[in-house]
Amino acid sequence: MFRPARAPLGFPAFGGSEATEPMRSVGETDSLNAWQAYYQGLNDAYLFPNEYVVRTFLGRYPGLNMPQDYAGKRVCDVSCGDGRNTVLLHKLGFSLHGTEINEAVCEITRRKLLDHPQRISADIRPGLNWDLPFEDGFFDYMLSWNAIYYMRDADGDIRGHVREHARVLRPGGHLVCSVPAPGCFSLAGADELGDDLIRLRGGPKWGMLDGTIYRRFRDFGDIEQVFGGAFTDFSRCTIRDDCYGLPLEYFVFVCRKA
Ligand SMILES: C[S@@+](CC[C@H](N)C(=O)[O-])C[C@H]1O[C@@H](n2cnc3c(N)ncnc32)[C@H](O)[C@@H]1O
């Protein structure tokens, strides 16, 4: 999600939804409102998947260990944003499910996917990292692309997020996940809160992230400690990209539910 910020294009009407909204704390409301405004402003943007999502789902690499038989399998695009990666998952033949922070954002994404030339229909439900609205063992694959580390507040527990993701995945199912690496632009200047939690300072360019609390990951050892209670068989990829002066640095990993 690294498109330049754009002026909001106007607020579509989202009345009449019967969907259940996930529980949230007072402290996180600003951050969720900022994301909602962002997606409302992106309403007409093109949908194109992240290059490393393409590589992971389609590529053959020496250290990548994930079966690539996707047709008819259930995938959850957790915090799918405006559905840019969901388009690829559709092309791969998955049965499509996903989450976003509230019904308004879910509706933006459903409509964008239906407006796509391929008329993509996806089951997108409101859900947060600690409360995913699906039954146990429902999914064969999950994609959590730059999302699992968004914390409820400074008391948030990343291991609870990991357990919740593992809960809705079937035993043997695969999680594809990315998180910012320490040199990533989004972490610059953040305040340390202890226990690897940080509070972001988005600065003038990324002000919408101001105050958001992340669980920051130091390295793959840290990742495997946190995820290793529920997952095994880790494949690792590091992205280090100086993108016209914007450092994009991420850890990407694929792991299997134990
Ligand atoms: C960096 S964007 C990534 C979106 C999408 N996966 C993509 O690659 O385009 C982070 C996403 O996390 C969602 N988000 C913010 N707080 C969250 C939370 N507490 N739980 C789950 N998702 C959250 C935002 O709405 C946003 O869509």
* Spatial separation of the C-alpha atoms in residues 175 and 228, rounded to whole Å: 12
Best probe residue, ligand 1, of 32, 40, 101 (max atoms within 8 Å of C-beta): 101
For residue 86 and ligand 1, the question of a CB distance below 6 A is answered with no
Q: In this predicted structure, what is the pLDDT of residue 81?
A: 97
* Spatial separation of the C-alpha atoms in residues 200 and 185, rounded to whole Å: 11
Q: What is the pLDDT of residues 195-222, one digit of tens each?
A: 999 999 877 777 888 999 999 999 999 9
Two tokens, residue 60 = 């053959």
Q: Please determine, for residue 105, whether its predicted confidence score (pLDDT) is greater than 70.
A: yes
The candidate with the shortest Cα–Cα distance to 225, out of 131, 177, 158, is 158
Q: What is the pLDDT of residues 208-257, one digit of tens each?
A: 889 999 999 999 999 999 999 999 999 999 999 999 999 999 999 999 99
CB 42 within 8 A of CB 82: yes
Q: In this predicted structure, what is the pLDDT of residue 46?
A: 80
Q: In this predicted structure, what is the pLDDT of residue 30?
A: 82
Contacts for 52 with CB less than 8 Å, ≥ 6 apart: 178, 237, 239, 250, 252
Neighbours of 125 (CB within 10 A): 18
Q: What mean pLDDT is reported for the chain?
A: 89
**Tokens 């993108």 sit at which residue?**
243
The candidate with the shortest Cα–Cα distance to 165, out of 251, 253, 92, 106, is 253
Q: Please determine, for residue 34, whether its predicted confidence score (pLDDT) is greater than 70.
A: yes
* Spatial separation of the C-alpha atoms in residues 144 and 147, rounded to whole Å: 6
For residue 88 and ligand 1, the question of a CB distance below 6 A is answered with no
Question: What percentage of the chain has pLDDT greater than the value 90?
Answer: 82
Mean local confidence (pLDDT), 151-160: 95
DSSP 190-205: PEEEETTEEE---TTT
* Superfamily grouping for domain 26-186+218-257: Vaccinia Virus protein VP39 (3.40.50.150)
Best probe residue, ligand 1, of 40, 51, 56, 150 (max atoms within 8 Å of C-beta): 150
Interval between CA 94 and ligand 1 midpoint (Å)? 21
245 DSSP 8-state letter: T
For residue 80 and ligand 1, the question of a CB distance below 6 A is answered with yes
Question: Can you tell me which atom of ligand 1 is nearest the CA of 53?
Answer: 8
For residue 38 and ligand 1, the question of a CB distance below 6 A is answered with no
Q: Please determine, for residue 73, whether its predicted confidence score (pLDDT) is greater than 90.
A: yes
Q: Please determine, for residue 8, whether its predicted confidence score (pLDDT) is greater than 70.
A: no
Q: In this predicted structure, what is the pLDDT of residue 87?
A: 97
For residue 150 and ligand 1, the question of a CB distance below 6 A is answered with yes
* φ, ψ (nearest 5 deg) of residue 88: -65, -45
Q: In this predicted structure, what is the pLDDT of residue 12?
A: 24
Interval between CA 145 and ligand 1 midpoint (Å)? 8
- pLDDT band of 85, cuts 50, 70, 90: very high
